[in-house]
Amino acid sequence: MSETPILEAKGICKSFSGVKVLQDVHFEVAPGEVHALMGENGAGKSTLIKILTGVYSMDSGQIFWEGQPVQIDSFQDCQKLGVSCIYQELSVIPPLTVAQNVYLGREPMKGPFIDHAKMREMTQQLIDKYEFPLSPDTLVENLGMGQRQLVEILKGLSADAKLLIMDEPTASLSAKESESLFDVIETLRSEGVSIVYISHRLEEVYRLSDRLTILRDGKNVEVLTKDQIVPAKVIETMIGKVVDESAGSRKMLHSDDSAEVRLDVRGLTDATNKYRDINLQVHRGEILGIGGLIGAGRTELVRAIYGVDKAASGEVWLDGKKLDPTPKNSIAAGIGFVPEDRRNQGFIPLLSTVKNVALPNYDIVKMRGRAIDDGDELALGERAIQDVDIRPCDPAKRVGDMSGGNQQKVVLGKWLMRSLNLLIVDEPTAGIDVGAKDEIYSILEDLAKQGVAVIVVSSDLQELIRVSHRIVVMRKGDIVKEFKNEEVTQAMVLAAGQGVESGEGTAA
C-alpha cells in the first residue's frame, strides 16, 4: 500500500442539537484497499460517510484527498475527486435502460441531442472490462437486485471513480448475487480502485477487508489489520466490553414452554426467498424476540404473519385455528401490528390522535344511524391517551406534530383498545428517547402479563435481551439459533446473526 492515503479524514467532529455524534474521528483509505467500517447502530458510521460525501458539513476537522486538503460540500465535489457512493437504497431509475442510468446527467452529446449510440458503446466497454452480466439496452426494471447493484457500480466507474463507498451492499442480495458482488470487488481492488465497505456482516468483512475501522459512540475504537480481524475480538470491540453472564437476561432463565401455544407458524416461505420454511411458536403471555442483521428476513416474516404481504407457502395458526393472513382477518382475530416505518405505515401524520386511534377500531365504535358516534370515537381516543400516557393529552393534536416516542405510543395505543391475542412490534423504540423506551417496554410487559403473545423484532441487542422471554435469531432468511432457559448476552446474539459461534475465532 502507498504511504499516502487516497482519502484521509482527521479530527472529524459533528453534533446535532448539542448531541455529539462524531468526536475527533480519524479514518483513512489507501489506494487499492478494501477498508471496512463497522459499529453498532448509532455508532456514527452513516454520519461519517455523509460528511465524506458532502451530505453533512462537519463542525471541525479536515479531509485530505491524495495528501491535499479538500472541501467536499456536494455530490459534484465527490464526482470531481473520483468518489462514488452506493447506498443500500439504490438510486437507479427502473424505467430507464442500463446505459441511460449509467450516464444519467452526463450523457454524451451530438450537437443539441444525446448521442445514444455513443452512450451505448461507452457502457458496453465498461461492461466488457469488468465482465458484468448486463446489456446496455436492458430496462433496469427487468433486472434483479444484484444486477441493479452492478448498474450502481457502473455509474461510479463511468465517472472514473477512484474510491467506491458501499453501504450494506448485500442487504437485499441473494447468496449467489452476493458471491458475484464479491468477485466484482476483488476485480476492482486489482484495478487499483479503493473501497470503503460498510456492513454488519462479519463474514463479509473477514473475507474482503484489508483493514477494519470500528466506531463506538461516535469515537474511534480500533483499526484492525487483516490478520487481527477475529470474530470474538470484533464483537467485543463493537460492544465495548467482554459480556459475561451478569450482562445477560435473567428473564430468559424462566422460559415456559408449557404455556398454551397462541401462534403457530408452520413452514412459512416467501416467493422471493426472503425467508424460508419458518417454523416457530409463541406462547400465551410470552414475549418472543426476533434478532438478526439487516436483510435477514425478520421484517418480511412478521409482515407475512400479519398478512401485509402474502407468503408463497406455509400456514399460520392462532389459538388452534388456521388463519388466512390478511390485515382484515388478523384484526378480526385479535392481532395487532406495529410496523417498522411508523411514520409512513403506522399512522397518518395530518390526522389527530383520536382519528388515528379509531382507524383500526371503527368496527367497535358505536354508530348513530349510518354515521359514526363522535362521542364514542372521542372516548376511545381519550382512553388510549390515558392508558399509554400520550403527551400532550390533547385528543385533537395532530400525530405528525408529536415526538417520536408519543407517535409510537399512538401506534401502540390504537391496538390496546381491542381485545388482543397477539401483538407484533417491529423496531419498537427506533429513534425514541430513553424515557419513552422504558414506558413502551412496560406496555409490552403488561400485555404479556395479561396473556397476550408478543413478537418483538429489534436491531437493538440490549432492547431485545431486556424485553424477551425467548429469542430466535434469523440469518439470510433462516432461523439459525434459539435462546431460552439461559442467560443471554449481546455478544451471543450478535455472533449468531453474523454466522459466528460466540467466542470462536473464525466465521461459521
Q: What confidence tier does 429 reach under pLDDT thresholds 50, 70, 90?
A: confident
How much is the pLDDT for 7?
A: 96
Q: What confidence tier does 157 reach under pLDDT thresholds 50, 70, 90?
A: confident
* Contact between residue 59 and residue 255 where contact means Cβ atoms under 8 Å apart: no
Using the predicted structure, report yes or no on whether residue 242 has a pLDDT greater than 60. no
b/e 398-431 (16+ beta carbons within 10 angstroms → b): bbeebeebbbbbbbbbbbbbbebbbbbbbbbbbe
- CB count in 10 Å sphere of residue 375: 11
Q: Report the alpha-carbon distance of residue 104 to residue 242 in Å, rounded.
A: 49
Got the DSSP string for 85-151?
EE-SS----TTSBHHHHHTTT---EETTEE-HHHHHHHHHHHHHHHT-S--TTSBGGGS-HHHHHHH
Using the predicted structure, report yes or no on whether residue 422 has a pLDDT greater than 70. yes
**Hey, CA dihedral for 48, 53, 59, 63, is it positive or negative?**
positive
Share above pLDDT 90 across residues of the chain, in percent, rounded to a whole number? 55
How much is the pLDDT for 433?
A: 59
Got the DSSP string for 23-74?
EEEEEEE-TT-EEEEE-STTSSHHHHHHHHTTSS--SEEEEEETTEEE---S
* Contact between residue 440 and residue 259 where contact means Cβ atoms under 8 Å apart: no
Nearest to 359 by CA among 336, 386, 390: 336
SS3 per-residue string spanning 112-124: CEECHHHHHHHHH
- CB count in 10 Å sphere of residue 85: 22
Query: H or E segment at 492?
Result: helix 490-497
Helix, strand counts (H, E) of the chain:
16, 24
The answer to which of 76-85, 103-112, 399-408 has the lowest mean pLDDT is: 399-408
User: Residue range 409-425: average pLDDT?
Assistant: 94
φ, ψ at 176 (rounded to 5°): -65, -45
Tens digit of pLDDT for each residue in 337-396?
999 888 788 999 999 999 999 999 998 898 888 888 899 999 999 999 998 988 888 999
How much is the pLDDT for 112?
A: 93
Q: What confidence tier does 243 reach under pLDDT thresholds 50, 70, 90?
A: very low
Using the predicted structure, report yes or no on whether residue 456 has a pLDDT greater than 60. yes
Around 141, how many Cα atoms within 13 Å sit in the side-chain half-sphere?
4
How much is the pLDDT for 39?
A: 82
Between strands 211-216 and 34-38, the pairing is parallel
Q: Report the alpha-carbon distance of residue 344 to residue 380 in Å, rounded.
A: 23
How much is the pLDDT for 160?
A: 81
Cis preceding-peptide flag for 392 (omega within 30 of 0): yes
Q: Which residue has the higher pLDDT, 16 or 309?
A: 309
- When mean pLDDT is compared over 95-99, 155-159, 186-190, 457-461, the highest value belongs to 95-99
- In order of their start, the domains of the chain are 7-239 (3.40.50.300), 249-334+422-488 (3.40.50.300), 348-418 (no CATH)
User: Residue range 429-448: average pLDDT?
Assistant: 80
User: Residue range 205-233: average pLDDT?
Assistant: 89
Using the predicted structure, report yes or no on whether residue 500 has a pLDDT greater than 50. yes
Q: What confidence tier does 244 reach under pLDDT thresholds 50, 70, 90?
A: very low
Between strands 211-216 and 219-225, the pairing is antiparallel
User: Residue range 204-212: average pLDDT?
Assistant: 91
How much is the pLDDT for 171?
A: 63
Q: Report the alpha-carbon distance of residue 472 to residue 482 in Å, rounded.
A: 4
